[in-house]
């Protein structure tokens, strides 16, 4: 239940997939924040490619518009439980996505792609496999029951099988720094950077990290050999 004033402007938002099927509609004082919650919680969130927002002067007006729209447009994932006040909140399960995580993560663990004791977070696992955090959590509970993971707290699980951290580092030590750099950054050439920044003001601040350190930095002279 919201604790915000009922006379505050409220948005009716709609979420569509790539075939323009209405997946869900709802109301919120802050639709962007609500969409952020859906990305973590709804098993269908990865299917959303388009959103629309309509603002109403009060929450009451938005509720009336939501009820009318839900009846006429029939979103694939209905939220009518909230308006009726009766019955239990439905639990939407993405069994296909859950199985994808179970199979994929189990294979990674069994092939030594995670060291023993490594902490995996359900949100990151969900992003890796293209499912919601809730679906990833369900899958990780299955792997916990199989003895591959141990629950820690707040969606975090530790890996129970695999190489030690030392052995893992030895196995993947080749170009490790370069691999981490490629995962975290786009690596551009100097020419590409000049082209990308040519229209920026001269005093624009840029945060950068060199993929390879030059032997002589600007303003320095090479040491005598």
If asked whether residues 141 and 189 sit together in one domain, one would say no
Residues 6+ apart with CB under 8 A from 161: 109, 110, 116, 147, 148
Measured between its terminal Cα atoms, the distance across the chain in Å is 74
Domain containing 177 equals 171-196
If asked whether residues 100 and 160 sit together in one domain, one would say yes
If asked whether residues 149 and 116 sit together in one domain, one would say yes
Condensed to tens digits (0 to 9), the pLDDT of residues 126-136 reads 888 888 788 88
Q: What CATH number does residue 133 fall under?
A: 1.10.10.10
Q: Are 24 and 77 spatial neighbours (Cβ–Cβ below 8 Å)?
A: yes
Helices and strands, number each (H, E), in the chain: 9, 6
If asked whether residues 15 and 44 sit together in one domain, one would say yes
Q: Which residues of the chain have pLDDT under 70?
A: 1-5, 78-93, 172-189, 192, 206-225
- Angle of CA points 55, 57, 61, to nearest 5°: 90
Nearest to 40 by CA among 112, 103, 133, 135: 133
What pLDDT is attached to residue 153? Answer: 81
Residues 6+ apart with CB under 8 A from 221: none
What pLDDT is attached to residue 93? Answer: 66
Q: How many folded domains does the chain comprise?
A: 3
CA 70 to centroid of chain Cα atoms: 27
Quick one: DSSP state of residue 2? -
Within a domain: 215: no
Q: What is the pTM of this model?
A: 0.47
Within a domain: 214: no
Residues 6+ apart with CB under 8 A from 62: 10, 11, 12, 27, 56
Within a domain: 221: no
Condensed to tens digits (0 to 9), the pLDDT of residues 25-78 reads 999 999 988 888 887 777 778 888 999 999 999 999 999 999 899 888 888 886
């Amino acid at each position: 239940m919201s604790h915000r004033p009922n006379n505050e402007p409220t948005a009716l938002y709609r979420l569509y997939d790539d075939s323009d099927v209405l997946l869900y509609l709802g109301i919120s004082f802050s639709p962007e924040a609500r969409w952020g919650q859906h990305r973590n919680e709804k098993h269908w969130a990865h299917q959303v490619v388009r959103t629309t927002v309509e603002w109403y002067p009060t929450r009451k007006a938005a509720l009336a518009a939501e009820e009318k729209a839900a009846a006429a447009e029939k979103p694939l994932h209905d939220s009518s439980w909230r308006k009726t006040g009766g019955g239990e909140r439905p639990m939407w399960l993405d069994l296909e996505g859950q199985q994808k995580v179970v199979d994929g993560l189990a294979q990674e663990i069994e092939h030594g792609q995670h060291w023993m004791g490594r902490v995996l977070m359900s949100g990151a696992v969900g992003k890796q496999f293209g499912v919601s955090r809730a679906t990833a959590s369900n899958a990780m509970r299955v792997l916990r029951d199989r003895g591959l993971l141990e629950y820690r707290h707040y969606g975090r699980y530790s890996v129970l099988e695999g190489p030690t951290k030392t052995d893992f580092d030895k196995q993947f030590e080749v170009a490790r720094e370069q691999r981490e750099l490629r995962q975290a950054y786009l690596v551009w050439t100097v020419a590409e950077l000049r082209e990308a920044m040519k229209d920026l003001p001269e005093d624009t601040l840029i945060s950068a990290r060199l993929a390879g350190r030059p032997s002589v930095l600007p303003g320095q002279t090479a040491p005598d050999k």
